[in-house]
Amino acid sequence: MYWAEHEGVLFIEGTPEGTKAGPAISTELNNFFSQNHLKTLDDLKDRMAESARQTGFNAIVDFKYGQRSSFIKSIFGMDNVLWYGTGRFANIERGTFAK
C-alpha cells in the first residue's frame, strides 16, 4: 500500500486494516480564469490536507487522484484539464506508518 505524508496529513492509496474511515472528500483544482494544467499534485494535496486538518483528521485513505478533461468546465476556465482527488478522512496513529 503506497502512502505519503504532505503537510502533516497522511495520503494512503488504500485503507489500512482496522481503520475506521470518516466522511468522503472529493476535490478538484478548477479555478476560474486559472491555468489549471500548470497546477501539480502538491497543489491538490495542499487543498485536501487543509480540509483534513480543519475537520480534525490526520489522514486521507483510499486516496485516488489524476487529471481529467471537461468541456463544460473549460468554458469557465482557461483550459479543460484539471486535477482531481478523492478519498475518505480518517485518524491514524503515526506509528502505523513510520518512515
List, for residues 58-83, the tens digit of each pLDDT value: 999 999 999 887 666 556 555 667 88
CB atoms within 10 A of CB 23: 9
Is the pLDDT at 39 greater than 60? The verdict is yes
pTM for the predicted model, two decimal places: 0.83
Higher pLDDT, 8 or 37: 8
What pLDDT does 67 receive?
Answer: 87
Look at the block and give the residue holding cell 502538491: 42
> What are the residue boundaries of the structural domains of the chain, listed by start?
3-97
Q: Which residue has the higher pLDDT, 67 or 49?
A: 49
* Joined grid coordinates for residue 2: 503506497
Topology at the third CATH level for domain 3-97: Translation Initiation Factor IF3 (3.30.110)
With the CA atoms of 66, 70, 73 and 78 taken in that order, what torsion angle do they form, in degrees rounded to the nearest 10? 80
